[in-house]
Structure formats: C-alpha cells, structure tokens
Amino acid sequence: MGNESVRQVEVGQIKSIAQTLVGSIPDLTFDEAEMITGDQARFSNESRKFIQEFVDTNMSTYSIAVNYDLTVEQMVIAGNYDHVGSCITQANFPIKGEGQQERKVTLFHFNRWIFPKEVIEEMSKLEYQPAEPEDILTLGIQHRDIQRQFPILALGSPWQHPHHRKGYVIRLEGSQTIRSIDIRLFDLKSNPHYRFAAVRK
C-alpha cells in the first residue's frame, strides 16, 4: 500500500489491443480502405485519441495529499458539504497514521450493474485495492466538483453497524447545486453511473 509506481504496458497487452482493433474493423470497400492507408498519420492520431478517451472514461486518476493528523470530523468540515450523514465519524471510520502522504486515487468505471465483490476482484487484477475512508474524504476536499458528475464509493474498511451487523462504506454524490457525503450498504449492487475509488497495492 502506498506504492505509486506505474507499471508499464506489456507486449502481450499490446498484442491483445491490436487484435481487438483488428476485430473491430467494419466491412470496408476497396476505396474506403485505400483512404485510410493513404492517410495513416491522421488515422493513427484519431485512433490514439479514441484509446486515450476510452481509458480516461473508465479509469481516471487524481493526486491527493492525505493529512492523517485530521480526524474524520475535521475532514468532513474541510469538505464543506451541503449534506453530511451522521454516521460518518472517527469512531466508525477510524483514520490510522501520522503526518501527510501524497497518494493517487483512481476512479474505476465499469458502466454496468455490479456487486462490490466483483469490483474488488477487477481492481485486484490491475494491482489496485479499494480506497480507504481517508482517501475518499481527502478526494472530497481537494477535488470537490468530481462528485457533481457521478456518485463515488470507497469500499475499503467498511463500518460494521452494531445493531444489524451490516457493513457500510462512504459515498460521495451530488449535483450542480449540492454536494453530499453519507454512508451506503457495502453489499448493494451499484448502477452503471457509479465510480469506485481505488489505490495501488
């Protein structure tokens, strides 16, 4: 945890992407194919832009500086939310650590209905793990407008409710007019609009 080194693309991954692109080529006439091969620079540039946009849509990364000397309550105040769930406290989501640490939070977007167990499995394949409460709290402080676009969940370290023994995690959400932070049942299936905060293992 805390290792922010970037793994380089592997040869096998490049081959897989190339095969995917080849398989996605529609039926072309001779003249249409000739137009592409005659302007390879422009075609290559457009393809590069498409791939980058696809990556940015499904995995976007934000730099944060977590202050471990703050309590959850202090982080919530610093986030300046319009609505705050009463269960988001230091007692329920204890922050462990000292000082400040530079971290990167990546938001995963699966664009489909998905259970948290599958989210965590998919993250793990890419050497990521769910973000902790302090990560999503800091994201809400330092990148305030992201949650206006879509709801964000941090699945790390769920709080176990003392009465019905179910796990809850922190959720950021909002709109153009309000920003809110609250809890959500860990086990719920999420709709395609959700993003899931993750950090490198």
Specify the CATH number for the domain of residue 96: 3.10.100
For 111-137, what is each residue's pLDDT tens digit?
999 999 999 999 998 889 999 999 999
Same domain assignment for residues 48 and 63: no
Number of structural domains (the chain) is: 2
How far apart are alpha carbons 64 and 136 in whole angstroms? 10
Please tell me whether residues 100 and 178 are part of one structural domain: yes
Rounded to the nearest integer, the mean pLDDT of the chain is 89
Inform me whether the pLDDT recorded for 1 exceeds 60.
no
pLDDT at 4 over 50: no
pLDDT for position 35: 85
Cβ-contact 122, 108 below 8 angstroms: yes
* pLDDT over 70 at 139, yes or no: yes
Final residue before a domain boundary, out of 22, 41, 57: 57
pLDDT of residue 21: 75
Residue with tokens 């990364």: 61
